Structure formats: structure tokens, C-alpha cells
């Protein structure tokens, strides 16, 4: 919990102007770098007895440039202020070089052996910049299997979100999901209220189901999702939100289906799904690729997938897989 509070404090201190452009042109903020540095530093400090391995999204390459030095100093101050805020660590204890090293601790390749932490310091950066949904996603791999997941969703409403809701319109927001293999999934508000167990929707009727998909069309083929929903008879419009907050919402039954079909050539990264996947599966859900195969997090930094990712409860999965296959076949035949 302390770890998630640290990263959330970093994010809340960010200004809209604190945006850089990485070499691949995707947006990145001081929060992404600061969150990764905080998580890396705390994990490595708190886990001295084991070989520390972190697979994370960011690296310090773009912060090494001369024009980025002012940004680096701002990140360094923010990281030190965050670490010192609860009295555990002294203020100004990390230099800019220490922060760069902490960020670069996330260069591990992961794999099928040993234990690896998997981090997305801010999942859904575009949503973060819009003031919408984003998540801090942390998972632990043990011999290639996800055994623990923590999903902090600072803007996710405490009350369930429905198909006609604007998720940003709720007053009370901030959810922390925690899952451990064999122990289920719990959620609590970020104000520290007691955690409660959650479970995915138990609906068997697809007409009663609503589904989540990515807000960004670049992250999911909305037309394909619409075809699948039509074949299932889903009547509710899709709920489009950013980040792994979708996994969290699904785990507590806000919706019944999550569809993700990236454009051809896109490679899914393990940090975009590891924490969310265990949050849903421990809540009784099923997470597979489009062919019905379990997600394999043992191959390194990327997932080898059959076309896309589908998530639902065990009762709906056979119907969902059938609709997915039919829609994919129709799409292929139309090309």
C-alpha cells in the first residue's frame, strides 16, 4: 500500500506541461519516470535478500540529453520529496544519477525462470494527460507465472460504472485492487477503508452484458469489437476507458466482457496486462487470447498472442470465443 501511495503522490504533483516526447513519439510525463524510479528504489531497498529483477516500461535514454536536464532535476526533486513524505527515507537522499539508475533498473528481460517484478508506472498515459483513467500496475512473476498483482486506479469511481456513465463524472474516486494467486481479489478505496472481496459478473445472458474496450482506437479495433458484440446480442454500448482500470472494473462486475484487438503489427507488452490479468482471474474471470489460449508471460517483455485479448466470466467465454472466431473469419474474408 505504501508503495502505491508513493506513486500516486508523484502523479498528483504533475502539471500538464510536464510532458516530454520519447524517441518513439509516444507521450511520457515526469510522472512515468518518477513513478518508475520510486517503485524501483523502494522494491530494491525492501527486498535485499533476493536477486532483484524489474521489467518496466521506461528507460532513462531520453533523460540523458542536455535539453532534458531541467526535467531530470524536477523528477529528482519529486522522487526525493515523495520518498521523504512519510519519514521512511531522508529528503534529498537520491542524486540525479541515482534516479537515472533506478529508472534503468527496469531493463530486465523477464523470462520463464526466477522471480521478476513487472511494472507499468503509468498505464494509460494519454488518459492521464486528459484527466481520465490511468493505473499504476505492478505484478510479480514466479517461474513465468503471475502470482501477485496490484492495480492502483486513482480516477476509477468507487461505485460501479455502467454503460451509460461517464467514468469521470463520479465524485468519489480512487481504487486499489490486490490479488495473490489462490487468495482472490480485494479492492479498497485509496483513503484506506477496509478491503472487500470482489467477483466478476455472473451473468450467463450476453444480452445483459456490457463490455469494455480501449478508449484509443489505435489500441483496439472498435469495428471488430462491435461485430463481436452484435453477434452476442449485447445491447449496451461499449464503455471505453484507458488503461488496466478496465481489468479492475471488470473484476468487481462493472461489466462482463473486455475486448482488445490491436492493429496488425502491434506487440503487446507484459506490463500492460500482467497485474490486470491476475486481478480478473482471481476474481473468477477468464483471460485468454483470441484463440482461447491463456496469456503466457514467460516469453520476456512481449506476449505472443493469437490476434487479441478477450476477458469475461467462464459462463460467457464459450459464446464469446465463437463470436470472436466468426467475426475474425468475416474480417479476413473481406480483405
The residues that are catalytic are 32, 125
> b vs e for 85-110, b when ≥16 Cβ sit within 10 Å of the residue's Cβ?
eeeebeeeebebeebbbbbbbbebeb
Is the Cβ–Cβ distance between 315 and 262 less than 8 Å?
A: no
> b vs e for 265-281, b when ≥16 Cβ sit within 10 Å of the residue's Cβ?
eeebbbbbbbbbbbbbb
Cα–Cα nearest to 204, from 170, 232, 231, 237: 232
HSE-up of residue 305 (Cα within 13 Å, Cβ side): 25
* 77: phi then psi, degrees, rounded to nearest 5: -65, -45
Q: Quote the DSSP letter at residue 101.
A: H
Q: How far lies 40's CA from each of 83, 233, 263, in Å?
A: 12, 45, 31
- In the chain, the largest separation of any two C-alpha atoms, in whole Å, equals 62
Cα–Cα nearest to 225, from 236, 216, 207, 212: 212
* 186: phi then psi, degrees, rounded to nearest 5: -120, 155
Amino acid at each position: 500500500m505504501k508503495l502505491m501511495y508513493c506513486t500516486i503522490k508523484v502523479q498528483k504533483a504533475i502539471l500538464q506541461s510536464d510532458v516530454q516526447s520519447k524517441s518513439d513519439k509516444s507521450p511520457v510525463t515526469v510522472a512515468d519516470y518518477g513513478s518508475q524510479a520510486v517503485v524501483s528504489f523502494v522494491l530494491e531497498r525492501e527486498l535485499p535478500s533476493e536477486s532483484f529483477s524489474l521489467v518496466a516500461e521506461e528507460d532513462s535514454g531520453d533523460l540523458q540529453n542536455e535539453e532534458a536536464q531541467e526535467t531530470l532535476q524536477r523528477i529528482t526533486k519529486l522522487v526525493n520529496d515523495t520518498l521523504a513524505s512519510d519519514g521512511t527515507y531522508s529528503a534529498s537522499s537520491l542524486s540525479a544519477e541515482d534516479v537515472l539508475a533506478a529508472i534503468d533498473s527496469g531493463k530486465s528481460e523477464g523470462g520463464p525462470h526466477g522471480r521478476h517484478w513487472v511494472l507499468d508506472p503509468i498505464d494509460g498515459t494519454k488518459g492521464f494527460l486528459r484527466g481520465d483513467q490511468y493505473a499504476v500496475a505492478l505484478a510479480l512473476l514466479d517461474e513465468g507465472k503471475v502470482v501477485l498483482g496490484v492495480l492502483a486506479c486513482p480516477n476509477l469511481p468507487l461505485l460501479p460504472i455502467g454503460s451509460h456513465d461517464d467514468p469521470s463524472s463520479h465524485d468519489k474516486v480512487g481504487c486499489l485492487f490486490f490479488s495473490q494467486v489462490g487468495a482472490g481479489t480485494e479492492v479498497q478505496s485509496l483513503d484506506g477503508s477496509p478491503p472487500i472481496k470482489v467477483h466478476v459478473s455472473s451473468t450467463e445472458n450476453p444480452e445483459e452484458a456490457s463490455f469494455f474496450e480501449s478508449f484509443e482506437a489505435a489500441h483496439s479495433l472498435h469495428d471488430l469489437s462491435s461485430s463481436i458484440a452484435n453477434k452476442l446480442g449485447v445491447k449496451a454500448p461499449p464503455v471505453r476507458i484507458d488503461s488496466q482500470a478496465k481489468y479492475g472494473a471488470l473484476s468487481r462486475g462493472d461489466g462482463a466482457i473486455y475486448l482488445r484487438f490491436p492493429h496488425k503489427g502491434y506487440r503487446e507488452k507484459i506490463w500492460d496486462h500482467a497485474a490486470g490479468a491476475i486481478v480478473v482471474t482471481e476474481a473468477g474471470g477468464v483471460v485468454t487470447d483470441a484463440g482461447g489460449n491463456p496469456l503466457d508471460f514467460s516469453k520476456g517483455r512481449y506476449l505472443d498472442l493469437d490476434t487479441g485479448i478477450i476477458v469475461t466470466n467462464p459462463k460467457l467465454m464459450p459464446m464469446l470465443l465463437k463470436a470472436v472466431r466468426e467475426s475474425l473469419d468475416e474480417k479476413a474474408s473481406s480483405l
